[in-house]
Amino acid sequence: MRERVAIIDGLRTPIAKAGGKLKQIQADELGAHIVRELALRVGIPFKEYSEVIMGNVSQPPHAANVARVIALRSGFPDSTIAYTVHRNCASGMEAITSAAQKIAAGRGEIYMCGGVESMSNIPLFYGKEMREFFSALFASKTLAQKLLILAQFRPSHLRPVMGLMQGLTDPISGLLMGSTAEILAQDFGIGREAQDEMAMVSHHKAQKARDEGIFAQEIAPIAYGKDATLMMDDDGIRDDQNMKALGKLRPFFDKKNGTVTAGNSSQISDAAAAVVLMSESRAKEMGLTPLGYLKEYAYAGLEPKRMGMGPAFSTAALFKRTKMKMSDIDLVEINEAFAVQVMANEIAFGSKEYAIKNLGRRSALGEIDPHMLNVNGGAVALGHPVGMTGTRMVIHTLKELKRRGKHRALATLCIGGGQGGALILEVE
């Protein structure tokens, strides 16, 4: 990119366990809440924005192009254009990089971007048989025809198809996301105990960060439920998580031999996040002090059944593009889709062999200093509202750089379907 993109400010809702506190709030309302709040805090009038871009994976049936619904519900004028982006788990990142492209291309100046996911509200579907039954019934004209069709009804037709499970299944390999993680565990020889330990540490770090008010700096509370209680903190963090509790869980994806459990995977959650973007020069002109900058980004594709290695692939692409190396990076955030997947990437980053074989490089990407990786925990403890995570990582990573007085971070994640995304974020 010729010029850095300034991230003026960012904000997110607390992350709620799916089916929990935020289950009554649909994605459009959740997104509108955070976008409106951020717009007010940033203080740029709504009408001055060029566009609203939101990432969302399971787009709610009642709010097609959820970004436009969010824009109007949050207070943008009718004239503000908006569209929704979908790059699976990187949707909240894609919203930001899409805006970056548009800013670079001179198609607009000020962007409201973000990601939103209400995994509680992913619908159940009727199966194929029931759909055919309905369409035949609606098409029938006479009473006799109708009765004939009604007679073909079987209770088994009512068995629902879970949208959530479908969404988390790779359509090419037919594997559930967790099963792709099992493959990485085998590839890299990472056992159950090591995975659980990483998961436990994620909870411990997140608990500490929460207690120190670190997450509160990026959260706008949201009222939920009958009593309009204000939710102030993420509720996925298990206080004093321990190996014993994690050890009790059964492998979910490979029940006989597996190592990946609900405890060492990311949680299914509801949340929304948003950032305001503009070019660095525009921010200067307006006299704003940005939270930080997006320096560069890259996406990369790989085998769908090893999608968890997306960070290694996309970081390779990013380094190639920027000529950067690990030593240029002060802080690393790898989304914790699965504990094993983060660990596999840690190994891959440090491995020359892996780099030569898979990344088209002659040298390793570079070892990741474990003290610089996911310093406040990650999705295993906080949850992974798929469309939102990418935006959250950007906000959190920039704030953490500032807290540490560091300059540059790598934020990267794996993407269901076999992709990876990586960003270079900077402060000052």
Partner 1 sequence: MSSISVDIDNRGVCEVIFDMPHSSVNLLSTPVLEELEAHIESIKKDTQIRAVLFKSAKDGIFIAGADIGEIDSLDDESLAREKVKRGQDILTLITTIKPPTIAIIDGAALGGGFELALACDYRIATQNPKSKMGLVEVSLGVIPGFGGTHRLKELVGLSRALELIMGSKKIDADKALKMGLVDASVPSGYLEFKINSLLRELDSKQGRAKIASKRAKIPLIDKYLPAVVLMIASKRAVEKTKGHYEAPLKLIELYRASEPLSVEEALSLEVDTFCSLVVTPTCKNLISLYNTSEALKKESGTTRATKPITIEQASVVGGGVMGSGIVWLFSKLEILVRLIDRDPKQISKALKHIRSIYKTLRKRRRITDHQISTKLDHITYSTSLDAISNSNLVLEAIIESSSAKKDLYREIEARVSKECIIATNTSSLSISDLASELEHPQRFIGMHFFNPVNRMPLVEIIPGQMSSPKSVATVVELAKQSGKTPIVVGDCAGFLVNRILIPYINEAIQMFEEGEDMERIDALVEEFGMPMGPFALADEVGLDVGYKVGTLLYEAYGERMSIPKIFEDIYSLKILGKKSGSGFYLHGSKSLTPNHKVQALVKERRSFDSEEIIDRCMLIMVNEAARALDEKVVKNASYLDMAMVLGTGFAPFRGGLMRYAEDRGLENVVVTLSRLANAYGDRFVPCDALVKMSKESRSYFKES
Beta bridge partners of 421: 299, 413
Q: Which is nearer to partner 1, 232 or 372 (CB)?
A: 232
Question: Active-site residue among 33, 204, 396, 414?
Answer: 414
Question: Active-site residue among 33, 203, 384, 396?
Answer: 384
Do 416 and 170 touch, CB atoms closer than 8 A? yes
| Three-class HEC string of 100-167 | HHHHHCCCCCCEEEEEEEEHHHCCEEECHHHHHHHHHHHHCCCHHHHHHHHCCCCHHHHCEEEHHHHH
CB of 21 to partner 1, least distance (A): 13
Do 424 and 345 touch, CB atoms closer than 8 A? no
Q: Which is nearer to partner 1, 73 or 404 (CB)?
A: 73
Give the type of residue at 65: N
Mark out the alpha helices in 287-363 (DSSP H runs): 310-322, 339-350, 352-358
Q: Which is nearer to partner 1, 74 or 341 (CB)?
A: 74
User: Quick check: is 384 catalytic?
Assistant: yes
User: Quick check: is 414 catalytic?
Assistant: yes
CB of 220 to partner 1, least distance (A): 8
User: Quick check: is 113 catalytic?
Assistant: no
- Strand pairing report for 229-231 and 222-224: antiparallel
> Locate tokens 């048989």: which residue?
129
CB of 316 to partner 1, least distance (A): 41
CB of 196 to partner 1, least distance (A): 36
Question: Active-site residue among 33, 89, 203, 204?
Answer: 89
Q: Which is nearer to partner 1, 137 or 232 (CB)?
A: 232
- Strand pairing report for 111-118 and 51-55: parallel
CB of 77 to partner 1, least distance (A): 11
Q: Which is nearer to partner 1, 158 or 230 (CB)?
A: 230
> Locate tokens 């993680």: which residue?
181
Contact residues for partner 1, defined by CB under 8 A: 29, 32, 36-37, 40-41, 43, 45, 73-75, 221, 223, 226-230, 232
> Locate tokens 């609606």: which residue?
138
Catalytic residue numbers? 89, 384, 414
